[in-house]
Amino acid sequence: MPKETPGKGNASPVDRVETASENKGGAVESGVSTPKTMKTKSKTADSKSQPKKSVAAKSKKGNVSSVKPKSVKKPAKSTKTKKPAAKSTKPKKTTSPALESKNEIESNPKSTLKVSNQIPKERRAKIERSLSNHKGKKRSEWDRAGGVKQHRFLKKRIKPGTIRKIKMPLLDVTMGDDWATPVTVIHGARPGPVVTVTGAVHGDELVGPLACSMLCQETMIGIGKALDAATMAGTVRIAPILNPPGFRRNSRYFPDGRDLNREFPGRENGNTTQRVASHIWDGLVQDCDYLIDLHTAARGRTNLPQIRADLVHPESNRVARAFGLEVILDSKGPRGTLRRVASDHGIGSVTYEGGGANFTDHEAVKVAVYGVLNVLRSLHVIPGHPSRPRFRLLASGSTWVRADEGGLVDMFVSSGSFVEKDDIIGRIMDPQRPGESADILSPERGLLICTANNPFVTAGTPVGHLLPINRGVQLVKRQLDAQNRLIISGSADEPPWRDEAEVDEIAIEGSWSGGAVDAEWQRDWAQPGLGDAESLASGAANSTADAVGEEESSEEEQ
Ligand SMILES: [Zn+2]
């Protein structure tokens, strides 16, 4: 069984919406957001002019549990352009200090759930209007009194309370490859919504296929497990690979060079990719109630785990929040994307983005699995309480950080890094002009939701995608690890698919002294102010005498 993120369920369910003046309209996925010219300082070999301020040097600041004086040990001063290898500045993954700081956050009763709202006023009003007009999805077929029906998928019938693995062909052919792809259908014993989870619409994005595979493991599916058809109310369809030829060739595209995620809902008699899109749309998606499409960043960059959804669409808004992540980008998505077409057809749909292409990002996979479970819990498809983040950043715009020189960039930060204005994001070096370098500075304070990992840059190449943060700064800072990276909800927890047998158990032998765990503790402390010293002393003696007889029966866990 998956573990609940500790304390998450206790967060206040009431979102406090802060007003914001900071608006940068523009769809995130279409890249229309306001580009900002980044400041680049050209450097010569003069090592004295090295900027003192670096992300590494100030990395401790945001961490509540760390001690300040230790912070200056990074190479910003000493190593100049000659040693690109000295990149220990790169933030590492979450370590134990991160957990400590997280626990501190959780023990702080003031940390209630908040929304740091960066969405323009008009858009916010539109979202609020559409949510208040929305009645909520209630279908007669979800009515428990009506009983459960067989689930139909690709002309096959699936009995209530059972699981079927079905191959879905993506082309109608009798010769050649039909690119059949596996779909696992878990049809609950009780009625409820149909939720479809998809991966590898882009063939080289491996987080989706992995997360889907994890969801289909024996540790997740079956009696008593997280996805138990016997207790499920509704149906879950899991399709790990929607682009099988691309997946086999490590390619984002279909063999005809097209991007499947621009061709929905497809055309039955169109080009190859359109035909595939049409099969997926008709067979897998159009009749479902909710869609979770799992993606990563395209080649050459890495995404901080995030959700993208059209927040004006009430059911999409609901799923976006239910996923349980800190970062939600409000956008309709480019034309022809599965998510956009699904939303337009009334399906509550979100895209999850985490990690990069051709790379098995363990953290991103784990967060995706937790997110899917959160959505299923929130929709009451499976039992349990969804975990909630400490805060949500709802964004409708961003700032791009670009290189202004060409060469090889050595990144000082990674996706999820929190940066202040003028922090060094990376350093560009041109191996043909040894000894020279140019620093890329952050144009403003914010959270990097995506960073480049392809070192080759020319002037204008984006190296970072920044969410400017002007509100809730302290809240965000309290959830940074020792390297100033945001600790994403679910990332610090155990993988939910881990088998019970894989958990090491260490036996500690002995017996409880006094017959109970807490028997040897002093019974109580004398309380001053209740009388004089003598009566206190005699009272204490009496209570000790009484306690002996009670000890076994009164043993309690603390
Ligand atoms: Zn993708």
Integer CA distances (angstroms), 230 to 159, 372, 378, 525, in order: 11, 19, 18, 52
Contacts of 464 (CB under 8 A, 6+ apart): 400, 401, 413, 425, 426, 440, 442, 448, 450, 451, 452
The token pair that represents 111 in the structure block: 């940390």
The secondary structure element, H or E, covering residue 353 is: strand 348-355
Instruction: Compute, in angstroms, the gap from residue 337 CA to the centroid of ligand 1.
Output: 10
The token pair that represents 298 in the structure block: 């395209």
Kindly tell me the sign of the dihedral angle through the C-alpha atoms of 227, 229, 232, 233: positive
Instruction: Compute, in angstroms, the gap from residue 127 CA to the centroid of ligand 1.
Output: 26
Instruction: Compute, in angstroms, the gap from residue 379 CA to the centroid of ligand 1.
Output: 25
Instruction: Compute, in angstroms, the gap from residue 434 CA to the centroid of ligand 1.
Output: 37
**Quick one: average pLDDT of 369-394?**
93
Burial of 172 (0-12, 13-18, 19+ CB in 10 A): exposed
Reduce the DSSP state of residue 95 to 3 states and report it.
coil
Please, are residues 233 and 191 in contact by the beta-carbon 8 Å criterion?
Answer: yes
The token pair that represents 44 in the structure block: 């010569």
Can you tell me the distance from the alpha carbon of 129 to that of 134, in angstroms, rounded to the nearest whole number? 9
Instruction: Compute, in angstroms, the gap from residue 465 CA to the centroid of ligand 1.
Output: 16
Reduce the DSSP state of residue 318 to 3 states and report it.
helix
Instruction: Compute, in angstroms, the gap from residue 202 CA to the centroid of ligand 1.
Output: 5
How would residue 125 be classed by pLDDT, with cut points 50, 70 and 90? confident
Q: At what angle do helices 362-378 and 314-322 cross, to 10 degrees?
A: 120
pTM of the model as a whole: 0.72
Instruction: Tell me the per-residue pLDDT of 133-177, one tens digit each, with 9 for 90 and over.
Output: 887 666 666 766 666 788 999 989 999 999 999 999 999 999 999
Task: Using alpha carbons, select from 338, 324, 428 the residue that is nearest to residue 369.
Answer: 324
Instruction: Compute, in angstroms, the gap from residue 296 CA to the centroid of ligand 1.
Output: 5
Determine the pLDDT at residue 514.
Answer: 76
The token pair that represents 524 in the structure block: 């109580």
Instruction: Compute, in angstroms, the gap from residue 159 CA to the centroid of ligand 1.
Output: 33
CB atoms within 10 A of CB 513: 9
Instruction: Tell me the per-residue pLDDT of 438-497, one tens digit each, with 9 for 90 and over.
Output: 999 999 999 999 999 999 999 999 999 999 988 889 989 999 999 999 999 888 777 777
Instruction: Compute, in angstroms, the gap from residue 252 CA to the centroid of ligand 1.
Output: 8
Task: Give the β-pairing of 348-355 and 290-295.
Answer: parallel
Instruction: Compute, in angstroms, the gap from residue 201 CA to the centroid of ligand 1.
Output: 6
The ranges assigned to domains in the chain are 8-114+409-477, 120-395, 516-550
Furthest-apart CA atoms within the chain: distance in Å:
99
How would residue 505 be classed by pLDDT, with cut points 50, 70 and 90? low
Residue 552 identity: E
Instruction: Tell me the per-residue pLDDT of 286-309, one tens digit each, with 9 for 90 and over.
Output: 999 999 999 999 998 999 999 999
CB atoms within 10 A of CB 46: 9
**Quick one: average pLDDT of 19-42?**
37
- Considering the chain, what is the average pLDDT of its residues? 77
Reduce the DSSP state of residue 151 to 3 states and report it.
strand
Instruction: Compute, in angstroms, the gap from residue 426 CA to the centroid of ligand 1.
Output: 26
**CATH for 120-395, options being 3.40.630.10, 3.40.47.10, 3.30.70.870, 3.40.30.10:** 3.40.630.10
The secondary structure element, H or E, covering residue 368 is: helix 362-378
Proportion of the chain above pLDDT 90, given as a percent? 54
Determine the pLDDT at residue 353.
Answer: 96
Contacts of 533 (CB under 8 A, 6+ apart): none
Determine the pLDDT at residue 57.
Answer: 36
What stretches of 446-551 adopt beta strand conformation (E)?
A: 446-452, 456-457, 462-468
Alpha helices in 192-337 (DSSP H): 207-215, 244-249, 272-280, 314-322
Please, are residues 272 and 172 in contact by the beta-carbon 8 Å criterion?
Answer: no
Instruction: Compute, in angstroms, the gap from residue 264 CA to the centroid of ligand 1.
Output: 14
Instruction: Compute, in angstroms, the gap from residue 237 CA to the centroid of ligand 1.
Output: 19
What stretches of 188-289 adopt beta strand conformation (E)?
A: 190-198, 233-239
Instruction: Compute, in angstroms, the gap from residue 463 CA to the centroid of ligand 1.
Output: 18
How would residue 249 be classed by pLDDT, with cut points 50, 70 and 90? very high
